[in-house]
Chains A and B, each alone.
Chain A
Amino acid sequence: MTSLPSTTNKKLGLVIDLDTCVGCHACATNCKEWNTGGHSAPLTDYDPYGKKPDGVWFNRVHSYEVKRGNRPNLTINFPRSCLHCENAGCVTVCPTGASYKRAEDGIVLVNTDKCIGCKLCSWACPYGAREFDEDEGVMKKCTLCVDRIYNENLEPEDRQPVCVITCPAGARHFGDLNDPESAVSQLTAARHGRDLMGELGYKPTNKYLPPRARKVDAADVGAPEELEAVEADGFLGWLDNVLSK
């Protein structure tokens, strides 16, 4: 059914820290690597070694510059993927029942056996999270690594989305955002996590942590404004005395 569940037991999602993301694209690359053999496999590439390589990705890392008046400009690296919205418009528009939101954990998935490739869900997503696979004629999207997070063949610490595991900067966090005690909820509260385009009312589950205030001046980190000369003693003190005469 493409009607949304009225509530979900869990709201599994990601918290992405725009302060620490270094824009290395490791999350996107490992996502591609895992998912091209995962739930929605394959993640088709067109012309991969040609002049205009293109293909299906679940995660894309943008970079932006933010001009902030007289303060120094800010560089933001921005990974963009499915936000597993509570009010997922991509699901309700689906005419076939291929798109669905799971009542148990809130993950939004596509059953590619039912998808007719009408692309309407990709129009309904404000975030551009869904990408059409031209070879297979069906829509594909982030699965929140549904084939890892419950996978008992993996070690418990590996039961997380690959983008989170692979992030070298610790900028990605995975957990239940429905549980106020969870690490991701605590982090979101402490760092004032944001909903993207909240004004559209999709109620995204994933949160983005805005960059923290930059420490621009030496005083910001408790360091002295200028270095002062150290009083020397011994041989250097004697030399200083002689030369000062």
Chain B
Amino acid sequence: MHPAFSVIFFTTSSGAGYGLLALMGIFGAAGLLPADRWVGLAGLFMALALISTGLLSSTFHLGRPERAWRAITQWRSSWLAREGVMAVLTYIPAGLMGLGWVWFEDMQGPWAVAGIVTALLSWITVVCTAMIYRSLRPIHQWHNDWTVPSYGLLSLMSGAVLMSVLIHLFGIENDYIQGLTVVTLAAGWGLKTLYWGFNKRSRGLPTMNSALGIDAGDVSVLELPHTSDNYLMKEMGFKVARKHADKLRRIAHLLGFALPLALSLLAMFVSGYVALAAVVIAWGSCSLGILTERWLFFAEAKHTVNLYYGATSV
């Protein structure tokens, strides 16, 4: 599948934003973060800025961006519409939480409830995003049980990496948060490695024979219907990144997981500026690594339409 940069940026940026927002809600409600105006403002601003720029960027790949508002109407059947609805709804408790945290400097009682509701809605939004891909049967690399957990965990992971930057900026010592960063990085790395392994081994059911309704024989392309690449070949037949897939995967392993994991572990044992530098570099590295991971997610997805253009399996 063609990796549209606006969609790659949207899923990584909003994923990190919703991860951070959910953790703000949970840790805020649990009293593990100080109900301090500036901590609340910085954390919520980071989260909501990432979410909002991500959502905005996702409208850039639309043919008719001015009609984007229509995309929340069909929530009964469409995961894309559900995602839109949940994304809009999440702003409400997030705003309430911000009111409590930033204005009243209070994260107890109703404000804590707003925090928990924010976390739940954030997670549901991320699940809806993942379900857009999970629900597409023509793409075996997405239509499997790894897609949703992977999106969910990577969102939580990139949120935790950001949160550890936040606490180090404010000089807050919190082993729960730094520990969560380490655990989610390790778990995310493991899950994504398994997911990549699944995609390497597993193939979709359709074949060239079933695509043509011809039961027996070896089918090969004799002649294409057109002389130059059409929409289908540009959108579904993208091959550039597949050529470099192994190199890009090594980059994703290193920048997305290994380096941030080592630096986040280091930050547990050092303090001051060294720890701050470690978590900031971990965040930068992780962001680049997850962008690469997301590029591969699209570029390595093989749509069944490729069977009509000579692919022997998808």
Listed in ascending order, the chain A residues whose CB lies under 8 Å from chain B are 1-4, 18, 23, 25, 28, 51-57, 60-69, 74-76, 78, 80, 89, 91-98, 114-120, 122-128, 131-134, 136-139, 194-202, 208, 210-211
Q: A-B pairs with CB below 8 Å: how many?
A: 210
Q: Could you tell me which residues of chain B, from 38 to 58, have a CB within 8 Å of some CB in chain A?
A: none
- CB-contact partner of B213 in A128, A136, A208, under 8 A: A208
| Pair A65/B213 contact, Cβ less than 8 Å | no
Q: CA separation between A63 and B214, bound complex, in Å? A: 13
Given A66-B214, A95-B74, A128 and B63 touching (CB < 8 A)?
no
| Pair B70/A114 contact, Cβ less than 8 Å | yes
| Pair A54/B228 contact, Cβ less than 8 Å | yes
Closest 9 CB pairs of A and B: A117-B63, A137-B63, A194-B213, A128-B305, A60-B225, A95-B81, A96-B70, A126-B138, A52-B228
- CB-contact partner of B72 in A55, A95, A127, A133, under 8 A: A95
Q: Mark B101-127, 1 if CB is under 8 A from A, else 0.
A: 000000000000000000000000000
Closest residue of chain B to A68 (Cβ to Cβ) is: B217
Q: CA separation between A62 and B230, bound complex, in Å? A: 13
- CB-contact partner of A63 in B211, B218, B223, B232, under 8 A: B223
Q: CA separation between A32 and B90, bound complex, in Å? A: 46
Listed in ascending order, the chain B residues whose CB lies under 8 Å from chain A are 1, 61-65, 67-68, 70-74, 76-81, 84, 132, 135-139, 205-206, 208, 210-232, 235-236, 303-305, 308
- CB-contact partner of A123 in B138, B210, B211, under 8 A: B138
Q: How far is the CB of A102 from chain B (nearest CB, A)?
A: 16
| Pair A128/B206 contact, Cβ less than 8 Å | no
Q: Using Cβ atoms and an 8 Å threshold, which residues of chain A touch B139?
A: 123
| Pair B71/A66 contact, Cβ less than 8 Å | no
28 contacts between A and B (CB under 8 A): A1-B74, A55-B230, A60-B226, A60-B230, A61-B225, A62-B221, A62-B224, A63-B223, A64-B208, A89-B136, A89-B138, A93-B80, A95-B74, A96-B74, A98-B70, A116-B70, A116-B71, A117-B62, A118-B62, A120-B80, A123-B138, A124-B135, A124-B138, A126-B303, A131-B230, A137-B62, A138-B63, A196-B211
Q: Using Cβ atoms and an 8 Å threshold, which residues of chain B touch A138?
A: 63-64
| Pair A2/B78 contact, Cβ less than 8 Å | yes
| Pair A128/B76 contact, Cβ less than 8 Å | no
Q: CA separation between A74 and B220, bound complex, in Å? A: 11
| Pair A54/B77 contact, Cβ less than 8 Å | no
Closest residue of chain A to B220 (Cβ to Cβ) is: A65
Further 5 A-B residue pairs, CB within 8 A, beyond A2-B74, A132-B231? A53-B227, A66-B217, A89-B136, A124-B135, A196-B211
| Pair B136/A200 contact, Cβ less than 8 Å | no
| Pair A208/B222 contact, Cβ less than 8 Å | no
Given A94-B78, A124-B136, A64 and B220 touching (CB < 8 A)?
yes
| Pair A116/B63 contact, Cβ less than 8 Å | yes
| Pair B76/A197 contact, Cβ less than 8 Å | no
Q: Using Cβ atoms and an 8 Å threshold, which residues of chain A touch B212?
A: 18, 64, 76, 78, 196, 208
| Pair B64/A117 contact, Cβ less than 8 Å | yes
Q: CA separation between A111 and B223, bound complex, in Å? A: 33
Q: CA separation between A115 and B65, bound complex, in Å? A: 10
Given A125-B138, A208-B213, A56 and B74 touching (CB < 8 A)?
no
Q: Using Cβ atoms and an 8 Å threshold, which residues of chain A touch B70?
A: 95-98, 114, 116
Q: CA separation between A196 and B305, bound complex, in Å? A: 12
| Pair B308/A131 contact, Cβ less than 8 Å | no
| Pair A200/B137 contact, Cβ less than 8 Å | yes
- CB-contact partner of B219 in A65, A95, A96, under 8 A: A65
- CB-contact partner of B78 in A28, A74, A93, A196, under 8 A: A93
| Pair A131/B232 contact, Cβ less than 8 Å | yes
Given A68-B217, A116-B71, A128 and B137 touching (CB < 8 A)?
no
Closest residue of chain B to A73 (Cβ to Cβ) is: B217
| Pair B64/A115 contact, Cβ less than 8 Å | yes
